[in-house]
Structure 1
């Protein structure tokens, strides 16, 4: 594995992890409303992270 490939994989995992944490934070605000909304926020955070990381890797 080349150094640039490793760097891209590392940035995508940071992006996915960061947006998952954002989804978790938003989910805590809606947790008193519904547990399903909490899980939905986490899943949306993961989905957004996957989309952003694929767009960034596509441009490089």
Structure 2
């Protein structure tokens, strides 16, 4: 329990959040095109990765 004072880095949660967001948006387009669904998933993943990079750089890169 010595790690309870250490600040946890939750920037990686942005990746999962982006994928879930892409899934939700992709479900709207699923009836029209399966490729649009996959594109939304990949877009959400890319968005999550960019947000993670921004959050990590602002926190000083500490892990």
Smaller-chain TM-score range? Answer: 0.7 to 0.9
CA displacement 1:5-49 (0-9 Å, x = unmatched):
xx22xx122111011101000000000110000000000000000
Counting only pairs closer than 5 Å after superposition, residues 23-42 of structure 1 correspond to structure 2 as: 23-42=22-41
The structure with the largest alpha-carbon Rg is 2
- Following superposition, which runs of at least 4 residues in structure 1 exceed 3 angstroms of deviation? none
Name the structure where helix makes up a greater proportion of residues: 1
TM-score, normalising length: structure 2: 0.79
For 2:56, what is the secondary structure of its paired residue? helix
User: Where does structure 1 lack aligned partners over 5 or more consecutive residues?
Assistant: none
Q: CA RMSD of the aligned region, Å?
A: 1.3
How many residue pairs match? The answer is 55
Structure 2 unaligned residues grouped into runs of 5+: none
SS at match of 1:49: helix
